[in-house]
Structure 1
Amino acid sequence: MEAFTAMHSGKTGLLLVSVCALVLAYKFWRHVHHPLYKFPGPRLAAWTNLPYSYWFLTGRQPFVMLALHEKYGPVVRTSPNELSFNTAASWKDIYGHRPGHGTFTKSDFYDGASFVDRARSVINTKDPAEHGRMRRYLSHAFSERALRGQEQLIAEVVDLFIVKLGDYGKSENGTDLHRWLNMMAFDLTGSLAFGESFDALQNGGAHPSVEFILKAVRHIARLEKPTERPDFLNRILENGDEEEISDVQLAAHASGLLTAGSDTTSTTLSTVFYYLMQHPDWMRKVQHESRTMFDSYEDITALSTQDMPIAKAVCLEAFRLYPPVPLGLSRVVPPGGDTVDGHFVPGGTVVSTNPLAACWSPSNFKNPRDFCPERWLEDWAGDAFEASQPFSLGLRGCVGKNLAWIQINTVIAKVTYKYDLEWINRDMNWHRDSRMYTLWEKPSLMVRVKARAGKVD
């Protein structure tokens, strides 16, 4: 009996080994015959999503992607069904409109960004037709007429920021400039999107709680009593079909604009001042530009700051060195497949252009890790300027691009016109100390603020 049991156990073990061997052989066969097999990348990433998930959880995913592109080249297989690119051509092929080509739709990644009751906004809707409809009525909120009407709302928040920065920054220990910029952008976007500021600046820079944000969302109810306030929601209702735009839909749009608008703007401005303080020669150039262009602080407006070439070059370089949206915006290749940067990619594959890998590639920019605003003023030969796309591009490019430029230009002009900044925590490194969890988590930027010498209003 024991001999029979042993023999039976041996056959069972052999059968299990054989089955496992067959399964592994089949998986290996599928691996080598996978349509993405030809694309380079980490071996484990071709088998499982675990490496990509781990890179994301560490908060260093943009820098991991940068290293992968430096090792494997302009296209990298980052998971079994996903490719990352870092070229200017890939931006156009994935996100731009190409006549005769299908639309690269948003991936399932955006399902996690749904608002209450699964309401879709212009940020996360995947249906191209629905997105087109949303963008049409949202575009009125960002039209030239609407932005002119919103200028006073913007100026009120920016001017309060200027006052608070001067008050808190004059102490010996200084203040966290990034924190104040974040609160300023949060208040400003809240004012425009929800119709009421969160008063983070007024409350000493305290970040509003989740409950306070939810309270702001409930302000959507004020739409039953239309106001003359020139904010986003009123502009949307003026030009949209009220029967199709529910309160929840409006709240979803406002919430998306709050997240996308406030964080990216404050990130860009923090990066600008970080590099200006790190490079005093460029700080002096920007200060000279603002202090000679404007006779008084009151002369600094959205219109008057449109033509500041030195400040704009600094901003473009800040965008390049520290893309405000560090994550590759994933898209799905349409059925039948299509080409990306000259590579045929099967339908259903998830593709993206990684912003940091594109902006830091020596194939796209000379001295890619150096702060060189002059490249944008002198049009450096060999630089692939279209590899830097901080607002993305195409039909799904940032609808608030013009508004973002107004905020950025106005803040830079007013800060450099009125103040001199002294950087305190010089042991901090903007890139080393940053983490990314969909958006950047940035270190403190401690500064001492002094009123400029000479003429001050």
Structure 2
Amino acid sequence: MIHFIMHDLSSLIELKTCQLNLWSSILLAALVVEASQVIYNVHFHPLARYPGPKLAAASLWWQIWIEVVTGQSLSLKLVELHGKYGDIVRIGPNELHFARPSAYHEIYHQKSRWSKDMKLYHIFARKLSTLTVPDYATAKKRRDITAPLFSRKNVIEMQHLVQRSIDETCTNIHTHITNGRPLNLLYSFRCCAVDVVFSICFATPLNASSSPGFQSPFVHAMHSAIPVVPLYKHFPIIQKIMTLCPPSIAVYLKPELKGLVHVHEMVMKQVRELKSNPGALTSYPYRTIYHELLSDKDNVPSDMELRDEAFLFVNAGTDSASDALFHGAIRVIHNSDICATLQKELDTAWPRIKDVPRLEELEKLPYLTAIIKESLRFSRGVVQPMTRVVPEGGAQISGKYIPGGTVVGMSNIFVHWNEGIFPDHLMFKPERWMGPEAEALNEWLVSFSKGPRSCLGINLGWCELYLGFANFFRRYDCRLINITPADVTWRDCYLP
């Protein structure tokens, strides 16, 4: 009996030893493969001749370290790198970033048909949407469906919805004034922008502008969710796991997301009702994104695709306009001369406060227009490099041949902060947009991007900015409390 037990024990030890040797061999093989890949990336890759951090050339983990581990802003890190390495910097095994402003128009040219790199864009939708479709041809078909809703003609016709949201915001501001309470400018503009998007896109105002103290649960949730963007960008598996979890889990882990989950459920309910009863659209007072997306009976999007498209418009239409309003407003208020000049122009064009001017009238005001353009420059728009994939055959960018398949991009700040284009770029100078050379500056205002895949809602964005700035500075005299523009900091999470 003892002999058999010892024999079995010996066999067991031999089996475990074999298993250990097997796992050791697998681990060693993996390390050899990884080491070989690193050596290839640094020394033999087609991009090996371009300067940049060796760790960035070696592995994607360099960007993960910058954005996820240390929480730095990639765009600001790029400013540092270009100061060290020059106009072209390698920031990934297969990725280049450019600093020369002319490169921006080479990458995002109107005739460009380059695909998007999905490493960045996958975070914005579980299914493919207008923003996240990688190839141009498919994206254009999607874009053309909803483009009429955001045409200048339609925005002019629907501007009363923008004004209605602004009026509700002003009513809330009056409440703050009556009660002697300070105003959170960023949240007030965010709430207004959210209501504009929900009104125009869904014919269902969220009434965020009426939230006490502008503390809308949805806006607060959106703000709380922003820091997770870099994590989802580099670890899509985490995003997939979270989307598969019941919403209650997300709320349990982060209670601030309750407002976001509520609106997700509200939009999904609306989507399912319209999918089951498309005839309900006839009761809507005007056309919405659902009218456009459900117009093709032979190509009806899934529930999830409709929801993703809906939230694409919410995210895209909220931050850009409200950020520009915020950054512009605090700088106008901070500079009494600029504020006085703007208010004088508005008082002349808008003598009776009850006779609210239309967008077409406000667009004729030169100083207001200059304020808006300088505010857009300061708010920057999307600061992450909006990556594209160089097509087969390669391309010339910034005077250099770039191999096909290379991921390329350029952050807006390298245009908006360029001293050759915008002297004294850190100063808020509306007059730079009013001189004899002002017309030439328009091509360098890239807050809404450029090219065939630029911001779809640019006309709506301009409408919000004209009406927003005009109403705010015609109705109110403000002062900053315990804050200056220099105190405002930002982190690059796609948008600042």
TM-score (norm 2): 0.77
CA distance in 2, matches of 1:73, 1:385: 26
CA distance in 2, matches of 1:363, 1:323: 17
Describe how 1:349-428 pairs up with structure 2 within 5 A.
349-380=406-437, 386-426=443-483
Q: Larger strand proportion, structure 1 or 2?
A: 1
Compare relative contact order (CA 8 Å, sep 6+) and give the higher one, 1 or 2: 1
Inter-CA distance 320–296: structure 2 relative to 1 (3 Å threshold): same
Paired residue secondary structure (1:429):
helix
CA distance in 1, matches of 2:448, 2:177: 31
Partner residue in 1 for 2:323: 267
Question: 1:91 touches 1:387 (CA, 8 Å); kept in 2?
Answer: no
Partner residue in 2 for 1:137: 145
Inter-CA distance 104–277: structure 2 relative to 1 (3 Å threshold): same
Inter-CA distance 338–171: structure 2 relative to 1 (3 Å threshold): same
Question: 2:114 touches 2:135 (CA, 8 Å); kept in 1?
Answer: no
CA distance in 2, matches of 1:85, 1:54: 21
CA distance in 1, matches of 2:328, 2:63: 30
Is 1:55 aligned to residue 66 of structure 2? yes
Q: Larger helix proportion, structure 1 or 2?
A: 2
Partner residue in 2 for 1:215: 265
CA distance in 2, matches of 1:67, 1:172: 44
Deviates further, 254-263 or 368-377: 368-377
Deviates further, 392-401 or 78-87: 78-87
Partner residue in 1 for 2:229: none
1:176 counterpart (164, 173, 184): 184
Question: 2:38 touches 2:59 (CA, 8 Å); kept in 1?
Answer: no
TM-score (norm 1): 0.83
Q: Deviation at 1:210?
A: 1.9
Q: Deviation at 1:412?
A: 0.5
Identity %: 23
1:241 counterpart (282, 296, 305): 296
Question: 1:87 touches 1:353 (CA, 8 Å); kept in 2?
Answer: no
Is 1:283 aligned to residue 339 of structure 2? yes
Partner residue in 1 for 2:107: 94
Question: 1:365 touches 1:382 (CA, 8 Å); kept in 2?
Answer: no
Partner residue in 2 for 1:68: 81
Question: 1:45 touches 1:77 (CA, 8 Å); kept in 2?
Answer: yes
Describe how 1:154-165 pairs up with structure 2 within 5 A.
154-165=162-173
Inter-CA distance 170–306: structure 2 relative to 1 (3 Å threshold): same
Deviates further, 252-261 or 218-227: 218-227
Is 1:125 aligned to residue 133 of structure 2? yes
Instruction: State the Cα RMSD in Å.
Output: 2.8
What 5-or-longer segments of structure 2 have no aligned partner?
Answer: 1-27, 219-258
Inter-CA distance 319–26: structure 2 relative to 1 (3 Å threshold): closer
Aligned amino acid, residue 147 of structure 2: S
CA distance in 1, matches of 2:37, 2:307: 49
CA distance in 1, matches of 2:34, 2:483: 56
The C-alpha deviation readout for 1:361-414, integer Å capped at 9, x for no partner, is: 324331222222211111559986534311111110111111110111001001
Deviates further, 397-406 or 191-200: 191-200
Aligned amino acid, residue 301 of structure 1: R
What 5-or-longer segments of structure 1 have no aligned partner?
Answer: 1-16, 441-457
Question: 1:300 touches 1:414 (CA, 8 Å); kept in 2?
Answer: no
Aligned amino acid, residue 133 of structure 1: K
Partner residue in 2 for 1:14: none
Inter-CA distance 368–242: structure 2 relative to 1 (3 Å threshold): same
Partner residue in 2 for 1:8: none
CA distance in 2, matches of 1:373, 1:54: 38
